[in-house]
Structure 1
Amino acid sequence: MNIFPVIETDRLILRQVTKDDSESILEYLSDKDVMKHYGLEPFRSTEDALDEISWYQSIFEKKTGIRWGITLKGQGRVIGSCGFLNIVPQHCRSEVGFELSKEYWGKGIGSEAFEEVIKYGFEQLNLQRIQALIEPPNISSQKLVERKGFIKEGLLRNYEFTCGKFDDLLMYALLKQDFEKMQC
C-alpha cells in the first residue's frame, strides 16, 4: 500500500485527499447535520480540515487505515469520504466509516462508494471482517450497512466519549464469506 489506490465506479472517482481539498472538506464537515453522528464538533476553520487531511495521510502511511475522498466523475471536488481505520493485520479486520455532503444524500452516492470500498477491503486488503460502529439514532447509516449485508451484532454502551458526552454504538459486521456469497 505505498501508492494510493484510485477506485472508479459508474459515477464516482474515489481518490486520495490532498491539502487542495481543504475548502471542500471544510464545507461539508462544518455542516452540523453531516457531523451529527461523526463524533466531532462541526469544523470551524481551514485548519480543522487540514488536520483531518493530515490524519487521513498518517493512517495511510502507518498502514492503520485508508480514507478515500469521494468525487463525482468529471468534477474534482471532494463531496465526502469513505474508508478503513483501525486495521488489525494479525486479525484481518478493520472498521469502516463514511460521510457525505448533505446535498448528495439520498442519491445512492454513499451506497456506491461504500460498496466499492468494502470490495477493496476484502479483495485487496485481505480482510476477513469489516466492522461498522454506528450511533443508534443514525438510522440512514444503519440501513445502508444492512443493505450491504452487515449484521447487527450488539450495542456497545458508553463506548466513546465525544463532544462532551458518552455515546452508545451499534456494532455491525460483514464477514468475507458472507460478502462472497452475495457476489454470486
Structure 2
Amino acid sequence: MSVPDVTRFSNWPDAPSTTRVERALRWMSKLHGSGKGCGWIIEISGTKALAGAIRFNSFEKKWRCGQVGYELHPDYWGKGLMTEAVKAVVACGHQTFGLNRIDAWTLPGNTASDRAGKIGLSV
C-alpha cells in the first residue's frame, strides 16, 4: 500500500501512513470472524514473499452476494497471480459462503485489474 502505483487505482491515498495500513490489515483480519467478509494475504509459493491481498470487502447475506477487492505489488503484475487469486476467492465464495453473485469494482484506466476481475469472476 506504500507503492503509489498500487494505490493509484484505489480509494487509498498515495503513501498512506503506517498507522492507516495497520488499521486496514486489522480490519481485514477480523472480517471472517465478524461474518462481514473474509481476507487473504497473497504470498509467493516457496518464498513467503508478500505479493498482495484479496478479500471479500462485504457480504450481503440476504441477497447472497459479496464484493471482492484486491491489491498486488508491481513486482508481480502481469504474471497471472491476481487472476489465480480471484478464481480461488470466487470458488470459495460460491462453495463455502453460498454466494450466488460476486462483484468487483475497478476505477477507469485500470485495465489489468479489469482483466483479472473479468477472467476470475467468469469462473
Q: 1:78 to 1:149 in 2, by over 3 A?
A: closer
Question: Structure 1 vs Structure 2: percent identity of aligned residues?
Answer: 26
3-state DSSP class of the match of 1:41? coil
Give the structure 2 partner of residue 103 of structure 1.
Answer: 75
Q: Could you list the per-position Cα deviations for residues 6-31 of structure 1 after superposition, in whole angstroms to 9, with x for gaps in the alignment?
A: xxxxxxxxxxxxxxxxxxxxxxx111
> Counterparts in 2 of 1:167-182, with a 5 A limit?
179=123
| Partner of residue 175, structure 1 | none
**Counterparts of 1:51 and 1:139 in 2: how far apart (Å)?**
28
d(CA) in 2 for partners of 1:93, 1:86: 9
SS of the residue corresponding to residue 43 of structure 1 reads coil
| Counterparts of 1:138 and 1:130, CA distance in 2 | 19
Where does residue 83 of structure 1 map in the other structure? 55
Q: Distance in 1 between matches of 2:16 and 2:97?
A: 34
Report deviation, 1:89.
1.1
Matched residue SS, 2:84: helix
5 Å-filtered alignment, 1:22-101, equals: 29-101=1-73
More strand by share: 1
> Once the 2 structures are TM-superposed, how far is the Cα of residue 70 of structure 1 from its aligned partner?
0.1
The TM-score with structure 1 as length reference comes to 0.62
Cα pair 1:43 1:49 within 8 Å, conserved: no
Computing the radius of gyration from Cα coordinates, the structure with the larger value is: 1
C-alpha distance in structure 2 between counterparts of 1:104 and 1:57, whole Å = 23
- Are positions 1:116 and 2:93 aligned together? no
Deviation of the 1:44 alpha carbon: 4.2
Q: List, as ranges, runs of 4+ consecutive aligned residues in structure 1 with deviation greater than 3 Å.
A: none
RMSD (CA atoms): 1.6
Q: Is the 8 A contact 1:85 1:97 kept in 2?
A: yes
* Structure 1 unaligned residues grouped into runs of 5+: 1-28, 151-178, 180-184
Structure with the higher helix share, 1 or 2? 2
Change beyond 3 A, Cα 1:43–1:51: farther
Uncovered stretches (5+) of structure 2, i.e. residues with no partner? none
